[in-house]
Amino acid sequence: MDLTPRQTEARDRILDAGLAVLSEKGLIRATTKEIARAAGYSEANLYKHFASKDDLMVAVFMERLPALGALLEALIKTPGTGELRANMEHVAATALAFFRGSVPIAGAVLADPQLLRKQRATDVHATRGPWVPMQRLTAYLDAEKEAGQLGPDDDPEAMAKLLMGACLQESFIHTLRGTGTPTPAEDAALAARLVGALLR
């Protein structure tokens, strides 16, 4: 069913509020009442868009991850253009922010077996989720290999897993320590180090 612009705006506000409350309070204390209040709606209005708190949390997880997909989609369509190292550094810096935003949401989903089951059921036909960046990066590196930018023995899937895994690990540690959000310059510097080690 297509949503009207007003319904879309309301749904987006609820999702944004859900992410903010989840990040601040955690899954258990992120009540639908609190989320509705943060969005500026009644709890009844929230339930017009989401059948349950679980449905809302799954939607937050699937739809409110920081943007990385658009960058990777653009790179997949233009292999052999631009410098591979610079493209990879841009991906890595963006992935660091993507995973920093994802870790708290993923933690909430993993902590609740019922929510995890619902997430898995939703993922069957989904084109969004935390695994998608690695798949898209693999596709991009495959395209670069076809364009001659990588050597014949280079393994695009392994390279994508190494880079995305390093970004995820760094974001996990950052979230666990609570050391403040790195600046774009700090992300760029770390991205350059990671890509430099990968492309030697």
Q: What is the DSSP string of 173-193?
A: HHHHHT--PPPHHHHHHHHHH
Co-location of 19 and 50 in the same domain: yes
- Chain centroid offset of residue 139 CA: 17
- Chain centroid offset of residue 152 CA: 31
Secondary structure (3-state) at 67: coil
Co-location of 128 and 47 in the same domain: no
| Among 64, 81, 101, residue at a domain's last position | 64
Co-location of 39 and 78 in the same domain: no
Supply the pTM of this predicted model: 0.76
Grade residue 1 by pLDDT with cuts at 50, 70 and 90.
Answer: low
Residue-number span of the structural domain to which 129 is assigned: 65-199
**Amino acid letter, 40:** G
Grade residue 101 by pLDDT with cuts at 50, 70 and 90.
Answer: confident
Report which of residues 56 and 124 the model is more confident about. Answer: 56
Asked if 134 contacts 160 with a C-beta cutoff of 8 angstroms, the reply is: yes
The total domain count for the chain is 2
CATH number of the domain where residue 60 is located: 1.10.10.60
Q: What is the pLDDT of residue 127?
A: 59
Q: What is the pLDDT of residue 158?
A: 97
Residues 48-94: tens digit of each pLDDT: 999 988 889 878 877 877 678 888 888 888 888 889 999 999 999 99
Asked if 30 contacts 22 with a C-beta cutoff of 8 angstroms, the reply is: yes
